[in-house]
Amino acid sequence: MAKKHAGAHGGAWKVAYADFVTAMMALFMVLWISSQDQEILIATSRYFQNPFNSPLERSSGVMTGANAGGGSDQNNENPPSSVVDMAFMNQLANELYRLLDIQSAQEDTKPIDIAVTSDGLRITLFNRKNQPFFKPYTAEFTPWGELVVQNLAWLMDRYNTSICIDSFTGDEFHSDRSDYGPWELSSDRCNAMRRGLVHFALDPEKIDRVTSHVIETPLGTNMKDDDSRQRIEVNLVVGDKSK
């Protein structure tokens, strides 16, 4: 009976070859990343520090031609790529949550909502009944509201951001004064937010716009009991607001 001879060295060489190719690919990736400009290096570093909360997955992953090379001839006047902007915005959001020690809550009870948008970062400060931002039907901050404004001002003043403030108030407010209604209350709260941020160290030149809004109650609805209509939205945009 003829004996069967095993193939030369079996399939072990395939494993070794695969490891070699993987190592070479990793080496080329490290060399390529190292050749990028400073913004890309920072964004990559932030991704590996916290990959599960990274904004890189929100981008297309395609860099423009200006950022594809080594970047040795670039200057600081060029705006950062969208990848860097999103990473920076997520860093701001995480830092604000940490400063305020905000725990996860249901959508209709959380006092603050922070969302990364295409333009930057939107911070929504709700005037909840269980955790009010303003004292009832006034533009005066509660202790919680003052704490939030102080931390926001300190955080935003550290970075190059332009800021837009929008105040929203429901139309259910009625005052004893005939010349003071929902529009006046919304405007006062908007300006109180602006003054509070400036008072707690924010450069007033960074504030680009303040706007007041009144949300009307549709007929046949119970929206008057929805405290989410009482809120302040602070929008942050990275970079020079004049661009």
Q: Specify the CATH class of 102-238 in words.
A: alpha beta
Q: What is the rounded average pLDDT for all residues in the chain?
A: 76
10 Å CB burial of residue 30 (0-12, 13-18, 19+) is: exposed
pLDDT tens track for 192-239: 999 999 999 899 999 999 999 998 877 666 665 677 789 999 998 865
Question: What is the pLDDT averaged over residues 68-80?
Answer: 45
pLDDT tens track for 153-165: 988 888 788 899 9
pLDDT for residue 108: 67
16 falls in which pLDDT band (50, 70, 90)? confident
Domain ranges within the chain, ordered by starting residue: 102-238
